Amino acid sequence: MAATGHCAIGTDLVRTVTESGTPPEARSSGPRRLYQDIARRIEIMLRDGGYAPGDRLPPERELAQRLGVSRPSTREAVIALEVAGIVEVRTSSGIYVRIAGPTSDIRLRHLLSGDPGPGPYEALEMRRLLEGEAAYRAATRLTENDSAALREALAAMRDDGGPVADRGNPADQAFHEQIAAASGNSVLAMMVRELWNARALPLWRRWIERTRTADMHLERVREHKQILECLNAGDGDGAREAMHAHIDAVARRFAQG
Amino acid sequence: MAATGHCAIGTDLVRTVTESGTPPEARSSGPRRLYQDIARRIEIMLRDGGYAPGDRLPPERELAQRLGVSRPSTREAVIALEVAGIVEVRTSSGIYVRIAGPTSDIRLRHLLSGDPGPGPYEALEMRRLLEGEAAYRAATRLTENDSAALREALAAMRDDGGPVADRGNPADQAFHEQIAAASGNSVLAMMVRELWNARALPLWRRWIERTRTADMHLERVREHKQILECLNAGDGDGAREAMHAHIDAVARRFAQG
DNA sequence: AGCGCTCGATTGGTAAGACCAATCCGGGGG
DNA sequence: CCCCCGGATTGGTCTTACCAATCGAGCGCT
């Protein structure tokens, strides 16, 4: 039945399966890995195939056969979708749909569709909102531990020479994440961390390179110091303002290039 | 060897395995899948093993041997970590560390450590902040399409009988996500969606059940209507206020139980 | 006839071995 | 000194096989 039914457009069939000795691999864009292809196809199948949350997908073996790939590869794809929260796997029972809509996960989107991800400006807008709020909340609930950790991060930042190639700017990131953690809301902390981790995406490398100059680094340190002072003083509004000023400055430095 | 050790009840040893180095190993909770175990062990290895971003991990084969598992299982774990953004796999080159700190991904955390995830209150706090801001921005840039989609979602919500078991409340979710999408910031939209999808976590089921009554549903519809009116009027501040009032009401209804 | 129980088919979980292709690195030739 | 070229390394994929948990259907007991 479905044997030859996969006319899929852009994706086409990656391989002709079993006995075919021809690995054409006319992959349109880059040497993507098979499990990513499969995951994307399954996701499309969920969206356009009339699947609703709670529905059960075909068994692994059938899925593999229908997609013309091996079971291990299919398993890899299913695991990717499981980690991304799109499906749920119940042992000996089946694979079930969790959410039907398009993927919300930034990383899986990037892996699956080559989506470059959100631009730095959008992310900075969000950092302004989230980290400003985090600073405000942190000011009134800062513990001695938090304060010490922030001092340490600031000192580390003073010492190192700014962003390091290939590993971002650990001290900078630590400072911001520490504030987010001190806000008392784990979701807020998680989102801030996610925004910072997104900098590893290709789009951001250039930006990080561009702001590695020594004077920009000094500016950053000064702005951080200002934020820390407000936090230590318990001045929530001041902390928010200082954070906003800092991120506005980051955006300005970025635009200068 | 552990061959005869399966006195356990249901879960006991997942495998007997060759003569592997790591026997049954007391799994604390539930019959986790092997790849999750491996992923967790690798993550610990990254954190405590002195790995920094950019470092290369041992080859798959060696990793598998060292952990006492097969290569396919190891690959599954690596893919999970890759989707979560913790490592990066370069074909024919190796597996490289992307971020060193603890996992930021809510889903992977849940999978790996059984973490129940953030509570509804924390998430509602964030929804108030994010969706309030989204409503404010959407008010000044609402297109006719957005408006139509919102009207449709509101109508759908009026029709259906409130939250449906096992699939949340599609119309409600659609309304909120549409506003977030209309905010013009894709990161904001993504985060809002992520918050809504988090409701699938076990912790939230009870809450959704509890607010299924007809009168609560009517309240929700009324509040949505209010928000939509502000949006259509281009009243940003009013939209934010209406959204805040709505989510405060949601929190209140939740607490009533 | 109704109920519980067992057994087997289904389905995910894991392992082992093999081969391919891209990459990397070092040695040899220009 | 630089370029080119192989082989070793390393991930990518397939095939096969078997184990274990689940679930439902049919059988036997009450």
Q: CA of B91 vs C1' of D7, distance in Å? A: 18
d(CA B50, CA A15): 41
Tokens linked to A112: 């699956």
Closest nucleotide to the alpha carbon of B61, via C1': D10
Cβ(A196)–Cβ(A181) below 8 Å: no
pLDDT in tens, chain B (257 residues): 333 333 333 333 333 333 333 333 333 444 578 999 999 999 999 988 889 888 999 999 999 999 999 999 999 999 999 988 889 999 999 999 987 655 555 556 666 666 656 678 889 999 999 999 999 999 999 999 999 999 999 999 988 765 555 556 778 989 999 999 999 998 999 899 888 877 766 667 677 777 778 888 899 999 999 999 999 999 999 999 999 999 999 999 888 76
d(CA B228, CA B242): 9
pLDDT digits 0-9 by tens, A153-171: 999 998 876 555 555 677 8
List of chain A residues whose C-beta atoms are within 8 Å of the C-beta of residue B53? 166-168
- CB contact under 8 Å between A54 and B107, yes or no, is no
pLDDT digits 0-9 by tens, A78-136: 999 998 888 999 999 999 998 765 555 555 666 666 666 677 888 999 999 999 999 99
Beta carbon of B71 within 7 Å of strand C? yes
- Write out which nucleotides of chain D lie closer than 7 A to a protein Cβ: 9-17, 19-23
Model pTM score:
0.74
Q: Which residues contact B162 (CB under 8 A, 6 or more apart)?
A: B169, B212, B213, B214, B216, B217, B220
Beta carbon of A93 within 7 Å of strand C? yes
For residue B210, the distance in angstroms to the closest alpha carbon of chain A comes to 20
The closest CB to that of A185, out of B33, B108, B126, belongs to B126
Tokens linked to B16: 């007997």
- Write out which nucleotides of chain C lie closer than 7 A to a protein Cβ: 10-18, 20-24
Using the structure block, give the residue that is written with the tokens 């988090």.
B198
d(CA B154, CA B224): 7
